Structure 1
């Protein structure tokens, strides 16, 4: 019987693509705690960190046959967790901020029927629209609007120019405004 704990990551990946559940289990044992700690440092919530990592591993198992890993497995897993965390943050924090600002706008200028239900619907729409942004644009947008990094910090972190970072945020806000203006007539009267 093979001892999976002694296999290198590339061998485990090859076996995983061949539907070897023991290889998947070994990858999970090898990396799950590290990834949960990584997610926890960002989210500061153990349950949310566990959920994010579980989603990443579930996705890996479901897409094992077409999984393409360039570079090391650990880098791939950390990036997958980071992207999942950014999506989670987009859903939780950005949506909440936009919902709050839209809610304030509506409370001051318009009558709002069933405000809680409509606010939840709007939060869901905003989260979906953010998730539909191109990956790099979404990443820059979230770093600016959620993490509140400066354009210089974003440029340094993503190895792009600050001008590119500004343009990505500008483009994402323009896209979101355009898509959301179609929904505002439904939510406000």
Structure 2
């Protein structure tokens, strides 16, 4: 079966069954979205490529869940955003620890200006998260930092999935509102969506 012959609606079901041709088509369809998401923030082709690999390895690992996902593109973007955010935090920690920008090819992984913007964004984001009510904060961190599903958060916290959704939606709105004046950090602001 040619990758282009698989219909969009059947791709998640085929990937869930382990169909490598369908997975290849999924990869070809969404790799640019993932790469662009990662590159806009890291400003590093090498980091962006690693994130692409990590995202699609994650998708393959959780492939059985794909048929239940309503908006596959949004789901993949969310995974890409989370991996990008984690890579950025790792790069900043490495920079603070060594004073150098980690890179396999000797070039800076991210520019000093991007690093300064990233540090500022991280501080603003942490302030926004810290101002959330305790339960909203816990839900937000479990979903965004630990990458748990809303159902997993509900089970972990002993609350209903609807309550988790309400807390998460309210937390996202509050974080976006808090961070809105800092839109000049545009490459990082998109991570909130």
What is the TM-score with the length of structure 1 in the denominator? Answer: 0.51
What residue is the counterpart of 1:158 in the other structure? 172
- Is the 1:69–1:76 Cα contact (8 Å) retained in structure 2? no
Aligned partner of residue 54 in structure 2, secondary structure: helix
User: How many Å apart are 1:32 and its aligned residue?
Assistant: 0.8
Gaps of 5+ in 1: 101-132, 141-154, 166-189
Please provide the CA RMSD for this pair: 3.7
Given candidates 130, 133, 137, the residue that maps to 2:141 is: 137
Gaps of 5+ in 2: 99-136, 146-168, 180-193
Count of matched residue positions in the alignment of Structure 1 and Structure 2: 118
What is the TM-score with the length of structure 2 in the denominator? Answer: 0.50
What residue is the counterpart of 1:15 in the other structure? 14
> Equivalents in 1 of 2:76, 2:176: separation in Å?
28
> Equivalents in 1 of 2:178, 2:36: separation in Å?
32
> Equivalents in 2 of 1:94, 1:73: separation in Å?
32
> Equivalents in 1 of 2:17, 2:47: separation in Å?
31
* Bigger CA radius of gyration: 1
> Equivalents in 1 of 2:86, 2:67: separation in Å?
21
What do the CA deviations read for 1:82-134 (whole angstroms, capped 9, x no partner)? 0001111122215644x58xxxxxxxxxxxxxxxxxxxxxxxxxxxxxxxx96
Aligned partner of residue 12 in structure 1, secondary structure: helix
Matched ranges for 1:82-97 at <5 A: 82-94=81-93, 96-97=95-96
